[in-house]
Structure 1
Amino acid sequence: MSGFAVIYNRHTPLAPQDEKFTTFRRDVVDFKQVGGNVHNAVGSHCAAAKFDTPSTRHHAIVRDAQTTAWLIATGTVLHENAAPDWGLDNLLRDYLETGQRVLTDLDGTFALAIYDPHTNKLIVATDPMGFTSVFYGQQNNRTYVATSALAVAKAVHALPDEYGVSHYLNVGCVYGTITLWSNVRRLPPGTLLEITPTGVTEIHYWRPSLDPAVMKLSLADTIDYTEALFSRLTARHLTSEAPMWADLTAGFDSRLVTMFLAQQSVPFRASCQGPVDSPDVLISMRIAKSLGWDYQHHILPDDWGQQRPAYLARVLGKADGHLDVFKQSSVIWDQDQRAPYATTSVWGLGGEVWRGTVWKQEFWNTGRTRTPNYDRLLSYRVMPSLDPTLFRDPQCAARVRSGVKRHLKSIGDEFADWPNTAQLDRVFTYKATGRSGAQMSAVMGLQRVLAPLNFKESISAAMSIHFRWRQHSRLVRHLMARVNPELAAFPTTDGGPALPMCLSNITKFRRYWISIGKQLVRKASQATLGYSILPPLRDEFDSYPLARWRRETLDILARDNILNIKTMRSAALYDPERLAAFLQTARNDDFKQEPLLSRIITVEMALRTLDTAL
């Protein structure tokens, strides 16, 4: 993958060696760590730079000799008219002839910038799911656009946005256009930004759609339809990507993706990261060995607590300050290990829609009403219960919750005439941009990620399939049993195999139903009482020395006074005494709020990086 930086000056032409553009371009490289081959392009009122890395698919800048128009692409643009060498000359010509309609034919994980000198128009487009992050901000007559939020924030001298920061601290990511900064927006999924001398406009070019005919299919016909769909998408879009990495855990989604890679004879190396006794590692190893798949296990080094601080600043920039730097640092470490073999990875993101997990909290109302329970959605799946007294304003969490509820409801209302399951599917695909999209963008320069379960045809199909066939992973179980029964027979972390449930094998799913019951009790008690009456699930990484690593990392961070309450740039957000107590307990073995601790550190590092404060 690569990245880009663009400046458009609406009122006056831009000098070829504009000093602000030079600084902006350098900041994108520094924050995103995409130093490599740099390609430049200019227009009457704009200048652009594209940064190619070893993971780049679409190299350099596409230029039209006749019109001097140009196109920049980062990520993976899946286009029917793409050249065998993945060149996008045809795409640029199609755009010049037909305009933005050409975008509706695209799929993949990408961002585009196209300049047409005839109209002096610049458009910047996100992929249909918005998994490649693009940010923009304005200062005076200039619009700054880049794949780095921090670079844009620095260029427009943005101040921290208190709601954006509070949203991140309470939810763990940010949704839609929200960032940590005022005057910096993230471009939404399936959207183009049109910039001309007369103004800046956001235009939606794609949204998921539902097919009533698919919804009426029987289970048997749905299995046929889904197998044909995944076989076709895998053959069309992934066969030319080999060699590649493919995530493989003990869950359903990565197993589903690797199953179709194997079916289509696409070479891949499966990988799993975690302690040697993690169920994900143990089961994925067994699967790979039994099926003869190439496999590599990655385990964090024993001194990770001391190594991790060196990753934090790097992770901050690569993830735009939108992801937990503790957790994401292990992801970046993992991508470093992968790079020598291949720079393309296939992830199993998006399987939740296929397996009906996004509307479990509707219980008996599933598919029976057009009114989703958004309060329950927030309590069960969006906002974990945090101690509101940690914040100086005790209403902070309530305010964020109210804002998130309005935001997600506005997205679900796009399908207001459909059952609650369709509305919640739409909400999930939208909010996935906040975390999954940030993760994909964070590994830019190390790995170019594809998520076939999130191709737009796949998502529209999943949302169209009747909810009954997706409950309890019913469709996926039948699909696996048909395509690769040996793979389906292996256990899952949910409990029981990935086989269809029936009377003859019901005893194999005892652990599954017990797990479902315990999960319901945990979430219900957390939502109603503020705490779970059952102990938390065993974390897949519990065998790592997490407490020791946390203390070692905190000791190193203390040298820079990152969490010194007297000098913290974000101190205004917190109750001083409560925060001091929280930070003290963070050194205990039984500390359970490491994600929140890491988010606090992330915000503090972001404010320091741009030399600002709340």
Structure 2
Amino acid sequence: MSTFLAFIAKRSQDAAKTFATDVETAQSVKRRSVDVIRVNAALGMAAFKRMDGSGSVFTEDANGNWLLIAGTCIPASAKLRDPAFLLASALDDPYKLARELDGFFALLVGEAGPNPKLHVITDPNGSFHVYSRVVDSGVFVSSSSLVLAATRPVSIDPVAAQEFIATGVIYEERSLYSGVRKLPPATVHEYTQDSHRAKNYWSPFESRTERESMLESADRLWEALTAAAKSVTGIASSPICDLTGGYDSRILNAACKHAGMAFTTTVSGGPSTPDVLISRKLAQVLDVPHSYTPPVAQEPHSIDEAVRLGDGELDATEYACVYEVHKRHTSGFDFSFNGSYGEVARGYWWELLDRDPSVIRPLDIDRVADARFVGLTSSSGLFLKDNRIDLRSHFSGVLRRTLESQIDRSLASQMDMAYIRIRMQRWQGRIASATDQVRPCLSPLGLRRVLDVVLSIPPAHRRRSRVVRHMLDRHAHRVANVPLEHGYPAVPFKIRNGHRFAPLLGYYASRVAARVLPRRAGLGSGVQTGLANDRPGDIVAIPIFDEAALAKFFSNENGSRGDFGAMCRLRTIEGVHQILSRSSID
């Protein structure tokens, strides 16, 4: 179970009067059957089955209290794997319980009695997306912003829409819908019939940098990775692990193999692409079964499903292919692991730091905003003047607000926070939240026990993937020796193996060329989509857009259409508008 809808009524309201209709709305939007439902005068809760038929972790006691877990929750102790004990612990002290949990999840507790409460615990990274919406009769909480948008009349948030069209991601607490807000990471929420309290229970950015050698860092990282792999071994009977030609998936698979997990590796793409060829070799080295999925084309039905799975907050054209791959695997595999967050150990985005990453000074926020968030072409001109924002100053503001607590810390710490809290939470987390509606999924490298270690490693060791290469060389040497997708091995550079790093010259030359050569906008070659055409379509009915600007954007005026990515995101918003219109509430 990945989709849920919960509601706590105000004292003068009765949740039972309208909640059945709200559940029907959720079913219509998500096209999923109900797995469990509980409702009384104060509280309502409904959970829906995944596409693969799997359900939810649910329990209730004799007093009418209940517990629901969406996603994958990994308790710190064996006794907390008992749902009844978990419920009792949550009722006793939800904050204390939260500190004992890890994973990709939302945990909900309905507390009955004369003073009913709804407790919500979000996962440490905020990856499993949970949203709230305050209405006249009470407060909704759901794993779907689209479901919350469909429960009552709503409008598209113009700021979120501009973020999405420009970058494919929505940031901070915004959703695509005005009044629907994302709950923050690592937070315990308590909703009563007349109040709301929230308390943070963990931050990865309080880790103290250790004084240690490179080899000590490598060994400590390997220990954390294998411990994380062991903690998820056994949660599925037939898991499948992504495996490509890069660093992150190979360290995940090497750790899973070392932990004794039985799993199958998988890759998708063209048969002669580096990822496909290298993953096959790595699977042979690891001695594990390997599954290959050829490229899949987007079909209109899969694009529509992608809009619903991503709540309109994922580019439906891009995610449709991801969805099709996962759907094909549901018949043979019951869980999916991937290597997301592995890049944090390699100092991702640190190429924007032009000095020692351990230096304590404010990050150049405008530079990061320009390099990582401001699109090649501005989408603001597609909006009515009163709705337009300056994307550069806006994204600089997003960064500044996110980094307020880190300005007295190292450049490395600030960049890590920008990457984890801004990029990974809202981009990777949104993808994972969509995929978990198809079948269970998890990124073990993003578990607390891993991030606590990664962020305490000296920055000099993490830069340019050095600690990862040393770790693989020491603990998974055969895996490290298989060349990466760019042709050089995942081992430390030494004089005696310097010749093996010759492909780096070509790799960096191509990166330089990509920066200096002009980029061409347009539909590209080989792209198959049912979304792009030369008419604005139903999106002109959304009152935040400039109809004339949309018509020009979608036309072939001056020989080229607008940016293809922005075009597909506009079509995604159009898909949302159509879904909400059919619900008669847009």
Alignment TM-score, normalising by the size of structure 2: 0.91
SS of the residue 2:104 aligns to: strand
SS of the residue 1:189 aligns to: coil
Tell me, in whole angstroms, the C-alpha distance in 1 between the residues paired with 2:260 and 2:558.
48
Tell me, in whole angstroms, the C-alpha distance in 2 between the residues paired with 1:433 and 1:50.
23
Q: Is the deviation greater in 74-83 or in 575-584?
A: 575-584
Alignment partner, residue 491 of structure 2:
499
Alignment partner, residue 40 of structure 1:
37
Q: Is the deviation greater in 142-151 or in 203-212?
A: 203-212
Shift in Å, 1:95 = 1.7
* 2:153 and 2:585 in contact (8 A); partners too: no
Alignment TM-score, normalising by the size of structure 1: 0.87
Shift in Å, 1:266 = 0.6
Shift in Å, 1:459 = 1.5
Alignment partner, residue 533 of structure 1:
517
SS of the residue 2:202 aligns to: coil
Counterpart of 2:471, as a letter, is L
How many residue pairs get aligned? The number is: 580
Alignment partner, residue 86 of structure 2:
91
Alignment partner, residue 11 of structure 1:
11
1:317 aligns with 2:308: yes
Alignment partner, residue 427 of structure 2:
435
* 2:119 and 2:188 in contact (8 A); partners too: yes
* 2:150 and 2:585 in contact (8 A); partners too: no
Shift in Å, 1:582 = 4.4
Q: Return 5+ residue gaps in structure 1 as ranges.
A: 524-531, 537-541
Counterpart of 1:604, as a letter, is E
* 1:3 and 1:51 in contact (8 A); partners too: yes
Q: Is the deviation greater in 508-517 or in 357-366?
A: 508-517
Q: Return 5+ residue gaps in structure 2 as ranges.
A: none
SS of the residue 1:50 aligns to: strand
Shift in Å, 1:6 = 0.9
Counterpart of 1:573, as a letter, is F
Shift in Å, 1:180 = 1.1
Alignment partner, residue 575 of structure 2:
605
Alignment partner, residue 72 of structure 2:
76
SS of the residue 1:610 aligns to: helix
* 2:335 and 2:441 in contact (8 A); partners too: yes
1:208-266 deviation digits (Å, cap 9, x = unpaired): 24332x53121111112111111212112234434201000111111110011111221
Q: Which of 454, 466, 470 lines up with 1:474 in the alignment?
A: 466
Shift in Å, 1:206 = 2.2
Tell me, in whole angstroms, the C-alpha distance in 2 between the residues paired with 1:235 and 1:572.
50
Tell me, in whole angstroms, the C-alpha distance in 2 between the residues paired with 1:100 and 1:504.
54
Shift in Å, 1:605 = 1.5
1:596 aligns with 2:566: yes
* 1:33 and 1:318 in contact (8 A); partners too: no
Shift in Å, 1:165 = 0.8
Shift in Å, 1:54 = 7.0
Tell me, in whole angstroms, the C-alpha distance in 1 between the residues paired with 2:73 and 2:202.
15
Counterpart of 2:175, as a letter, is T
Counterpart of 2:38, as a letter, is A
Alignment partner, residue 455 of structure 1:
447
Alignment partner, residue 99 of structure 2:
104
Counterpart of 2:339, as a letter, is G
Tell me, in whole angstroms, the C-alpha distance in 2 between the residues paired with 1:122 and 1:581.
46
Tell me, in whole angstroms, the C-alpha distance in 1 between the residues paired with 2:227 and 2:126.
23
SS of the residue 2:541 aligns to: coil
Tell me, in whole angstroms, the C-alpha distance in 1 between the residues paired with 2:558 and 2:68.
45
Tell me, in whole angstroms, the C-alpha distance in 1 between the residues paired with 2:435 and 2:558.
28
Q: Is the deviation greater in 284-293 or in 316-325?
A: 284-293
1:523-569 deviation digits (Å, cap 9, x = unpaired): 5xxxxxxxx42669xxxxx9xx624x24xx25xx76xx9x4358623
SS of the residue 1:123 aligns to: strand
* 2:165 and 2:566 in contact (8 A); partners too: yes
Shift in Å, 1:272 = 0.8
Mark the CA change 1:43 to 1:395 in structure 2 (over 3 Å): closer, same or farther. closer
Mark the CA change 1:137 to 1:477 in structure 2 (over 3 Å): closer, same or farther. same
Q: Which of 518, 541, 546 lines up with 2:526 in the alignment?
A: 546
SS of the residue 1:363 aligns to: coil
Shift in Å, 1:380 = 1.9
Alignment partner, residue 131 of structure 2:
135
Mark the CA change 1:586 to 1:534 in structure 2 (over 3 Å): closer, same or farther. closer
1:51 aligns with 2:60: no
Shift in Å, 1:46 = 1.0
Counterpart of 1:8, as a letter, is I
**C-alpha RMSD of matched pairs (Å):** 2.9
Counterpart of 2:224, as a letter, is L
Identical aligned residues as a percent:
22
Counterpart of 2:39, as a letter, is V
Alignment partner, residue 154 of structure 1:
150
